[in-house]
Structure formats: structure tokens, C-alpha cells
């Protein structure tokens, strides 16, 4: 039986990291949809791969009653938050839904009024919120809820964030990386679809969409090389 060489043992941790990176990069909101809705009454008309923090939003806009049902997903060890800012495009003034993971206890869902960078107050929001829940699956925190939006609204200013620690059930400050600072965008609302107007012409894969396949190919090559090294008793 071939023995493990020191070189092979050095490669194993690197391979594990590469596989994890490839898996994370390959996740999209569409690939999550079946798992998210499986075995539950949840179903969302649209989803979006948010541009920062590896976060995803699944949502359904109901124009009949001016409501928005959401599922916000992100990997974090402390807390995740998705918010609407009725007056601006940044964090200050945001009305936030938040899922928190205490050190000893189940994940809880709360609402916060973010009145300043230093003031995060647990409170009711300026709009109605219902069916607020949170859980965790496969290392991803998931935040669910429905909110009332202005009648006839076509867009919302959305803000999202993740944090690594919780003090009791209170979120601690998040990192201040460029991704954290730029975790905001405009969410377009339309009944039953996230697209407006005619569909865009089909295009070839973008460089970012090719990344998961490239990483997968690299990982496959590394795995094959390691198997060959092991088999040869290098």
C-alpha cells in the first residue's frame, strides 16, 4: 500500500480550501431556489445575487396589497441584516430586519432603526413587518419576512450587512471593508418578475460567471495530480 508523502500532506489543506472557494463562488440565488423552497410553503417570484458580501435576496412583490416578501441569505458567524432606507441610499436612516446568532441559543429575528452609525436601536419600523423569522442551513444564515412598501412604488433603496459577533442578542459593529461600505443598491419592483420591459439579448458568459468553472477545473486538476502522486508513492 502506498504511503503518504510529506509533500502530499502539505497539499491536502490547500486542496480543501480551493474546493470550498469554488463551491462558494459557484452559488447563485437560482441554485439556492430549490433548496430554499423545498419542504416549505415559501416560494419567491424573483431573486438577486447581491453584489457584495456573498449575499442573496429572494423576493416577491405583491402590487395588490403593496407588500414585499423576502428571504435574505448570507454566511456570517454573528448576524446578518437586510434593510430598506425610505429616505436615502446608505445605512443611516435604514429600517432593518436582522437575524442574530447568540453564543448560547437559537437564531433570533429582530427589527432595528439605524438612526446613525453609532446608534442601532431595536424598535418597530416605520412600516409594517410580519412573518419575521430566521434560521441557519449549511452554514448560511437565512432571514425571512414580509414588509409593507409604499403604494405604487417601483424601486426601493436596499441595504444589507453581515457581522461576526453578537453581545447577548445585540449586534456588534461589522467590518469596514470596501464590500461592507458598498453593500447597498436599488431594488426594482414589478409584479411577478424582476425584469422590466423586453428581455435583453442573450449574451455570452461574463468573466465573473466563468470564474466558478475555472476554479472547478483548477480543483479537478489538483485532485488528479494528488491522486497520481499518492498512487506513485512519491
d(CA 7, CA 158): 48
* pLDDT for the residue numbered 116: 83
Q: Average pLDDT for consecutive 10-residue bins of the chain (234 residues)?
A: 52 41 59 74 90 97 96 96 95 96 91 86 95 94 97 96 90 90 94 37 36 41 43 50
Task: Report whether 148 contacts 63 (CB < 8 A).
Answer: no
Residue 87: per-residue pLDDT? 94
In angstroms, the CA 15 to CA 222 distance is 7
Backbone angles phi and psi of 126, in degrees to 5: -80, -5
**Would the CA dihedral through 35, 162, 114, 178 be positive or negative?**
negative
Strands 155-163 and 79-84: antiparallel
Distance CA 197, CA 208 (A): 25
Cα dihedral sign for 149, 151, 154, 157? Answer: negative
Pairing between β-strand 108-114 and β-strand 170-171 as defined by DSSP bridges: unpaired
Name the DSSP letter for residue 218: H
pTM of the model: 0.71
In 117-211, at which residue ranges do the beta strands (DSSP E only) sit? Answer: 120-122, 129-137, 140-148, 155-163, 166-167, 170-171, 184-188
Judged by DSSP in three states, 210 sits in: helix
Contacts of 137 (CB under 8 A, 6+ apart): 35
* pLDDT value of position 113: 94
Beta bridge pairs of residue 157: 186
* pLDDT score for 191: 52
Query: Residue 9 and residue 80: Cα distance in Å, rounded?
Result: 36
CB of 89 closer than 8 Å to CB of 184 = yes
pLDDT of residue 211: 39
Amino acid at each position: 500500500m502506498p504511503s503518504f508523502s510529506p509533500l502530499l500532506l502539505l497539499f491536502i489543506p490547500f486542496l480543501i480550501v480551493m474546493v470550498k472557494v469554488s463551491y462558494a463562488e459557484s452559488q447563485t440565488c437560482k441554485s439556492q431556489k430549490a433548496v430554499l423552497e423545498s419542504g416549505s410553503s415559501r416560494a419567491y417570484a424573483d431573486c438577486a445575487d447581491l453584489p457584495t458580501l456573498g449575499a442573496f435576496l429572494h423576493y416577491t412583490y405583491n402590487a395588490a396589497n403593496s407588500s414585499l416578501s423576502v428571504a435574505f441569505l448570507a454566511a456570517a458567524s454573528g448576524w446578518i441584516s437586510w434593510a430598506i432606507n425610505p429616505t436615502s441610499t446608505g445605512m443611516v436612516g435604514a429600517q432593518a430586519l436582522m437575524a442574530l446568532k447568540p453564543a448560547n441559543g437559537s437564531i433570533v429575528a429582530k427589527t432595528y432603526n439605524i438612526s446613525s452609525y453609532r446608534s442601532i436601536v431595536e424598535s418597530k419600523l416605520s412600516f409594517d413587518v410580519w412573518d419575521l423569522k430566521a434560521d441557519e442551513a449549511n452554514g448560511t444564515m437565512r432571514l425571512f419576512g414580509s414588509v409593507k412598501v409604499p403604494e405604487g412604488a417601483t424601486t426601493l433603496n436596499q441595504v444589507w450587512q453581515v457581522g461576526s459577533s453578537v453581545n447577548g442578542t445585540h449586534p456588534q459593529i461589522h467590518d469596514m471593508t470596501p464590500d461592507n461600505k458598498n453593500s447597498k443598491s436599488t431594488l426594482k419592483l414589478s409584479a411577478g418578475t424582476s425584469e422590466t420591459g423586453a428581455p435583453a439579448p442573450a449574451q455570452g458568459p461574463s468573466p465573473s460567471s466563468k470564474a466558478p468553472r475555472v476554479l472547478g477545473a483548477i480543483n479537478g486538476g489538483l485532485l488528479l495530480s494528488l491522486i497520481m502522486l499518492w498512487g506513485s508513492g512519491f
